[in-house]
A and B are shown apart, each in its own frame.
Chain A
């Protein structure tokens, strides 16, 4: 249960140390960037060009060979060094690296939050029930958890994406729809299967922790007392066991958000995520140009790193303040 003592511990730790402050500010900045991406982006992040047969051996006037023609006929400069127009340059298909950096935060955070939420929804009830009832339910859970753990998270995720396919879901962008930003894509592609897969890969870690908590809580006096009063098991689970297992679950959730961000980036890097609007994909895109156009790969990586640092700092803060009994870094991926 999130008691007053925990809140005051959180405040105390926050006040005393420097790192949680950085983490919170950083994370807020990234979240705001993700929400207001259409307002911050300087170009349409999805607008690409293609090599056009102009019939002339020379590039259009005022442009170099590194130009492509966009769908609307405009000329798009590819692989432009950072300039005032493109503050982080453009990539190999002429997209603005900065705008894609800004939009990348959306995909990264959405997948991480939804994936972790899914894992919570699956893992916590399963773990609590297994730990509380024990016996055969528990054995079955623990054995299947062992099986899940024997797959490296990334490998399992790749296999599952292979099964589910990787169709992105187009989510309409409310800010663009409301007319606040012009020239921005009306919807952004969220890699739906990656989100589901992330949830399926990490739920077992929540189940393990929830089980451990339920296992120790079921022997507490007040639980035994409630049982002797004839309180139904279901009520005991929701009223006593769940609220008192929340602390380690919250801390674990923070760790797993960081893990899912990295998982999504890895899948996108390997080309398994189904969307190209992703920091991980962007890194892959710039890989061949690393020698001459390092910015294409460099900035998306900085984005991933900063987000994960922010989440980890928050996780450390929760861990220090709430002091849950989580052993080591239980990162599932």
Chain B
């Protein structure tokens, strides 16, 4: 009962926040320099045409009418049309969601799978070499800019170990030759970039595995996703390692741990069922708040690896100031952030009986 009330309250708050995000974005768009019609049609377009577009798009209306129009459209799931491509923004957002979800989930899995054992080892073997190693790793991890890390991973993999990464040009430039400028990311063909899909998506890979008993698709998917996931996941791995270590050290010093030992409970049970579980409860909340960082990281990582997700589309939209597209993507990201945080809070409430009792 309490849980339902809590969820309803959080949902209402979330709606309020989304409304705030929409309003802030609309305000930014209103104050941003440049005439939308000109942006749509390009510099030097026919003045009559510009005026017609302004009229059609309602840009001559008072600002509050435009705002109400926009919010009204949103309520019907209409995010407007891209100024650049004139495509439906909702469709442009939806087609890029799977790639971003795959990337962020893979990064989160990488982070959790590496970080929690590392943090536990670090906390339970304090001041031993493994602890120093984990501490050093986590210091480096939270201090490394992830776009640079991505490039260095590509460098190490493709150049030093000779495993070419799809986004990199493998055509060697002979020293001394005139360098012919080539596009910064060669790999469009691998991704089928114009349609906004990866060459191999996870659902495709699983389908191939189940129906054709073919692992090659899954292998290709893994090959595409490993470096981006590592790049995006490193900061989180480092962060969770740090939080787990310090939280677990705090937790191990609590009297109930001594009491649990006195009961004669086996060590793994003390360590995982009691201590680690209690350590994770506050960490979950921190991670919920850090989801913004994860999504910001996804934007950068997608740019580095030319990963056809929302982040890459957002950067493109921002570069050309395609406001409807950019608004649509940011609203979706904010929405995802809020949903994740509601889930996290619900989980926190479930795990922490002291809160749920209130």
Contacts and interface: CB of A to CB of B under 8 A. Distances in A.
Q: Do A and B come from one complex?
A: yes
A66 to B, nearest CB: 7
B145 A262 contact: yes
Contact of B17 (A143, A158, A292, A333): A143
Contacts of A287: 151, 184, 304
Contacts of B24: 147, 151
B147 A283 contact: yes
Given A162-B318, A305-B144, A312-B143, A64 B176 contact: yes
B326 A159 contact: yes
B25 A290 contact: no
Nearest to A259: B293
Contacts of A288: 169, 182, 184
A294 interface: yes
B143 A153 contact: no
Interface stretch (B61-69, B260-268, B295-303): B295-303
Interface stretch (B47-55, B77-85, B154-162): B154-162
Nearest to A165: B33
Interface in A246-273: 258, 262, 265-266, 269-272
Interface stretch (A2-10, A30-38, A230-238, A324-332): A324-332
Interface in A279-314: 280, 283, 287-292, 294, 297-298, 300-301, 304-305, 308-309, 312-313
A160 B28 contact: yes
A309 B315 CA distance: 28
A290 B168 contact: yes
A76 interface: no
B31 interface: yes
Interface of B is mostly: helix
A266 B145 contact: yes
- What is the size category of the interface that chain B forms with chain A? 35 or more
Nearest to B323: A162
Contact of A291 (B148, B158, B297, B314): B158
A194 B24 CA distance: 19
A65 B25 CA distance: 49
Contacts of B293: 152-153, 331, 333
Contacts of A294: 155, 159
A144 B24 CA distance: 10
A147 B295 CA distance: 16
Contacts of B16: 143, 146
B296 A153 contact: yes
Contacts of A1: none
A154 interface: yes
B13 A146 contact: yes
18 contacts: A65-B176, A79-B179, A143-B13, A146-B16, A147-B20, A149-B337, A152-B293, A158-B314, A162-B321, A266-B145, A283-B148, A283-B151, A298-B155, A305-B144, A308-B143, A328-B243, A329-B286, A333-B293
Interface of B: 13, 16-18, 20-21, 24-25, 28, 31-33, 139-140, 142-145, 147-149, 151-152, 154-155, 158-159, 168-170, 172-173, 175-179, 182, 184, 239, 242-243, 282-283, 285-286, 289-290, 292-297, 299-300, 303-304, 314-315, 318-319, 321, 326, 330, 333-334, 337-338
